Amino acid sequence: MWLSATNTNFPSIDEVTEEGILALGGDLQPERLLKAYQNGIFPWYSEGEPIIWYCPNPRMVLFFDQLKISKSMRSILKKDRFKITYNQNFEQVISNCKTIDRNDGLGTWITDAMKAAYINLHKMGIAKSVEVWQNHELVGGLYGVDLGHIFCGESMFSKESNASKFAFVKLVEKLQKENYKLLDCQVYNDHLASLGAGEISREHFLSILKA
């Protein structure tokens, strides 16, 4: 289904393709983006493509009691190697997520339009960031969309070994204390699986989202 610029409604989840694609087109205005996340939908596309809206099955999530922290990471957490802040430099975090070299060779899916859209959401208090500092330099972090009971992770970066893991663990600890239900990781990858994230059905995810 092609979305129009004037109608922010999405088609029924029953119309999603096997690949998890629900719709194409539309825009990245705050009303549409927020409605998307509230219904388990997110944009994911490359520069030059139309906006592609996904609601995949299965869904990669982290239930907080499943978090895996390695011995080496536990050692880092006990030391003063990194300093953590929240929502202090969102624009620098998303800029690094956009430009950092990635081991998978896939490059970035954060287009200029997406960067601007999430900065706008941050100014509205919806998109949030975690920053990791070392010697007053930003060396890692992540950002996502905060729905109040679920945090939808979007991207992370690391310039120093374990910096992004440090951000991830600290965010999970914070969300757990604030009684969030889970951290949405969207689609499977090995890195997130190593931290304890796993796949659940789309139906299960949406039931938690709507509860």
pLDDT digits (tens, 9 = 90+) for 121-135: 999 999 999 999 999
pLDDT tens-digit readout, 72-120: 999 999 998 999 999 999 999 999 999 987 664 444 689 999 999 999 9
pLDDT score of 211 more than 60 = yes
The helix/strand/coil state of 175 is helix
Q: What are the phi and psi torsion angles at 174 (to 5°)?
A: -65, -45
Helix (H) or strand (E) holding 86: strand 83-86
- 2-57: in CATH 3.30.70.3550: yes
CA atoms of 118 and 134, how far apart (whole Å)? 25
Confidence of residue 182 (pLDDT cuts 50, 70, 90): very high
2-57 with 60-210: one CATH topology? no
Matching residue, tokens 């951000």: 167
What are the strands, taking DSSP E only, across 18-72? 21-25, 42-43, 52-54, 59-62
**CATH number belonging to the domain at 60-210, selected among 2.130.10.10, 3.40.50.10950, 3.40.630.70, 3.40.50.1100:** 3.40.630.70
Task: Say if CB 157 and CB 97 are below 8 A apart.
Answer: yes
The pLDDT of residue 105 is 43
Work out the number of other CB atoms within 10 angstroms of the CB of residue 172.
22
Structure tokens at 154: 């979007």
**Closest residue by Cα to residue 196 from 71, 70, 57:** 70
The pLDDT of residue 102 is 61
- 3-state SS, one letter per residue, for 117-172: HHHHHHHCCCEEEEEEEECCEEEEEEEEEECCCEEEEEEEEECCCCHHHHHHHHHH
Amino acid making up residue 97 = C
Could you state, in order of their start, the residue ranges of all structural domains in the chain? 2-57, 60-210
pLDDT score of 190 more than 70 = yes
Of all residues in the chain, what percent carry a pLDDT higher than 90? 90
Residue 105 falls in which region: left (phi positive, over 0), alpha (psi -120 to 50) or beta: left
